[in-house]
Chain A
Amino acid sequence: MPLAWLVIIVLAIATAGYVVGRSRALSAAGGNARGLHSLPVYYGANVALKIIVPAFGIMILWLLAQPWVIERSVATIIPDSAVAEGSNRGLVMAEVRRTASGIVNAVASGEMSRDVAEEQPGDLEEFTQRLKDAGQVVTSTLSAPVVAAAQRYNVLSATGALYMAGLVVLASLAGLVFGISESRPDFRARNVVEQGVRALLIGAASIAILTTLGIVLSLVFNTIEFFRLYPASHYFFSLEWAPSFSGRGGSSELGVLPLLWGTFYISIVALIVAVPIGLFAAIYLSEYASHRTRAFAKPLLEVLAGIPTIVYGLFALLTVGPLLVSVFGDGGLLGVDWQGGGRAVITAGGVMGIMLIPFVSSLSDDIINAVPQAMRDGSYGLGATKSETIRQVVLPAALPGIVGAVLLAASRAIGETMIVVLGAGAAARLSLNPFEAMTTVTAKIVSQLTGDSDFASPEALVAFALGMTLFILTLGLNVVALYIVRTYREQYD
């Protein structure tokens, strides 16, 4: 029985439980909802909870445990002789799983009769050919132990699924009976539902936190693996980034410094563009603009934040790069020859700056608006003009928040990839010249993992080390930003 059916059955029982629980509680109170401790809907919801929680709990646990249990039992029927030289038990088990699902699919599509699938095949060649005809992924002729293990695997899975379905339905029926028996007028169904809501919210929060934790752990372990293969001193202090793509020679130089420098340089250029423009836009919007102007200008500015970064990348590659070359390049407007090609730090930084404008302006605008009107009144009352008030009273009061906004924009800039790939090129270089191509940590993570990569080589694993470096950098920036915002926030309330 497919899982979807089981879920639908449980949900149907829960719906029935809801209706029955509700009406039972009502009738127990003589049809008068005032006689109940809680509103009738809570009694219904209580019954539904009593059905859904244990049933789905059992289902999830079973689905997690079943493959593990079956593999252990199947593994015992594969003799050591079946494990070929240069292979290992894990690879054989993978073949077993592949064959097992192949058989199931072949039966489902009608290429193989149920009997053939379950009996020990006389001719392995023919059996393999049948699976191939059914479009299943089978590489070479299957060996007898593998087929036997795969058949056993299928049998155990089917039995397991049957037991699980039975247990789940039983649990939901038990829940139904228990829930209905609880539906007495003095039962505090509302409190139970409250607990259920609480558990749901805690569950959602823990999924988010556990996922983060999982990502960080996977980063950490792969980074450790990388440093086992590649010396840390080279990674941190080498001034060269030259991965060898043939890979095997171990001749790669994987120094992070040129990448960090590129990241830092491009982010600085981006902030030099974004901070003044964003801040001035925020000041205009919050202090000078009329309500009507603000009502359409602010959403319009925020549209910038909604443009996918790849579009900014195209913009950098096709518009801004050539434009800058026509100014700073050979035969350009300034008559200098600084910029050789469109891909340069200044191209990527400039476009990234434009992307960051709405971040800076939107956050700063909120912060400037949060400065109490009393501050402005005090300043106006002393005969200060608008710009004096903004410069000397509003901005100092909003400064911590603005610094926080800038740091958030900075961590966004550090993590940006597509604009760099398209706008700044792929050459890792330590240089001060903003008209040269450079690249960043993120762009290199992409290039190290695109194409065929062997995940055991330092050339691929370095991506995790780079990711970890980036993560620590942006985390540090975010912590500093939050610290600044928190420390100075209360002062003006």
Chain B
Amino acid sequence: MNDMRQVERTVDTGQHKITAKNVQVHYGDTHAIKDVNVNIEDKTVTAFIGPSGCGKSTFLRCINRMNDTIDICRVTGDILIDGEDIYDKKVDPVQLRAKVGMVFQKPNPFPKSIYDNIAYGPRIHGLARNKAELDEIVEKSLRRGAIWDEVKDRLHAPGTGLSGGQQQRLCIARAVATEPEVLLMDEPCSALDPIATAQVEELIDELRRNYSVVIVTHSMQQAARVSQKTAFFHLGNLVEYGETGQIFTNPNDPRTESYITGRIG
């Protein structure tokens, strides 16, 4: 657990980017998320930890309304981004998802070229006026995704031909290309080897300068390494939320302590 001291814990802004109030999620008859209240800060990496099935991914998917694509899922309560309720009728979930990017557990590049993978978002949102601008966006995103040097000579090769770690960084670059304000990551390293994981973690720390990053992870070491704030979920409840250092060294709740010391999970 010494890793956790490597990351500076200063949080630049105290501003709340995302606020969740009394959020409940039901899948059919299952009550998956029970009364979650949380304030996620801007330009911060927030980690969600907890045992499998505790609802952390479900909650993450509420933040960009990805749960709308599941028929039986019902979300109640309020989630505000920049003070605006994203479950309001006026909000277009498609627009919201452009603002709140998402990276998935398994790298899922589209069956297209590397270039087209990155250009996909900018094209559908009309972010580039011409080819030159699009080229620029693609290069900038690939650089942000820390993969530019590896792929710059084969931008038109299929994205599915990259290695797992490269694919995941490509997916991060793809999410970054639409210029989101929040980046949600659902166990982005679970399919990667340690070296690729290290690269992605480094990247996450870089991304913190521009975005509010929320990451779901099963690895407590990873949470400790990359995040400034940590939320511990257990059985659909948000048990404890606070500074990462404090959660890992001096948790308030006995359940958190049991989990991080490996007694439940």
Binding site for B on A (CB under 8 A): 290-291, 372, 374-385, 388, 392-393, 396-397, 491-492
Contact = CB atoms under 8 A, between A and B. Distances in A.
A490 to B, nearest CB: 10
A58 to B, nearest CB: 59
B112 A379 contact: no
Contacts of A383: 94-99, 121, 124-125, 178
Nearest to A291: B71
Given A383-B178, A491-B111, A377 B121 contact: no
B160 A381 contact: no
A385 B96 CA distance: 11
Contact of A381 (B66, B95, B124): B66
A384 B158 CA distance: 21
Contact of A290 (B71, B120, B174): B71
A378 B110 contact: yes
A382 B98 contact: yes
Interface string B71-104: 1000000000000000000000011111101111
Contact of A382 (B71, B111, B175): B175
30 contacts: A374-B104, A375-B111, A377-B66, A377-B102, A378-B108, A378-B109, A378-B174, A381-B101, A381-B102, A381-B103, A381-B175, A382-B97, A382-B98, A382-B120, A382-B124, A383-B94, A383-B95, A383-B96, A383-B99, A383-B125, A384-B121, A385-B124, A393-B110, A393-B111, A393-B120, A396-B111, A397-B110, A397-B111, A491-B111, A492-B111
Contact of A377 (B99, B108, B160): B108
Interface in B150-204: 158, 160, 171, 174-175, 178
Contact of A380 (B66, B160, B175): B66
A393 to B, nearest CB: 5
Given A374-B108, A380-B66, 13 more contacts: A290-B71, A375-B111, A377-B69, A378-B104, A378-B110, A379-B120, A382-B97, A382-B120, A382-B175, A383-B99, A388-B124, A392-B110, A491-B158
Nearest to A290: B71
A380 B95 CA distance: 10
A305 to B, nearest CB: 28
B110 A385 contact: no
Given A375-B108, A491-B158, A492-B160, A382 B69 contact: no
Contacts of B112: 396
A372 B124 contact: no
Nearest to A385: B94
B115 to A, nearest CB: 14
Interface residues of B, number: 30
B121 A382 contact: yes
Q: Which of A290, A377, A388 has the most CB of B within 10 A?
A: A377
Given A290-B71, A392-B120, A382 B108 contact: no
B217 interface: no
A151 B95 CA distance: 94
B227 interface: no
B106 A374 contact: yes
A135 to B, nearest CB: 72
Contacts of A397: 110-111
B228 interface: no
B111 A381 contact: no
Contacts of A375: 108, 110-111
Contacts, number: 76
Q: Which of A375, A378, A379, A397 has the most CB of B within 10 A?
A: A378
Contacts of B94: 383-385
A492 B94 CA distance: 25
A376 B101 CA distance: 14
What is the predominant secondary structure among interface residues of chain A facing chain B? helix
B58 interface: no
B222 interface: no
Q: Which of B94, B111, B178 has the most CB of A within 10 A?
A: B111
Contacts of B230: none
A388 B124 CA distance: 8
Contacts of A388: 124
A376 B68 CA distance: 13
A12 B120 CA distance: 72
A392 B110 CA distance: 9
Interface string B115-154: 0000011001100000000000000000000000000000
Contacts of B66: 377, 380-381
Given A290-B71, A291-B71, A491-B111, A381 B106 contact: no
Contacts of B106: 374
B99 to A, nearest CB: 8
Nearest to A377: B104
B24 interface: no
B64 interface: yes
Nearest to B96: A383
Nearest to B95: A383
Given A383-B94, A383-B97, A378 B111 contact: no
Contacts of A384: 94, 120-121, 124
Contacts of A290: 71
A378 B121 CA distance: 10
Contacts of B103: 381
B215 to A, nearest CB: 15
Nearest to B160: A491
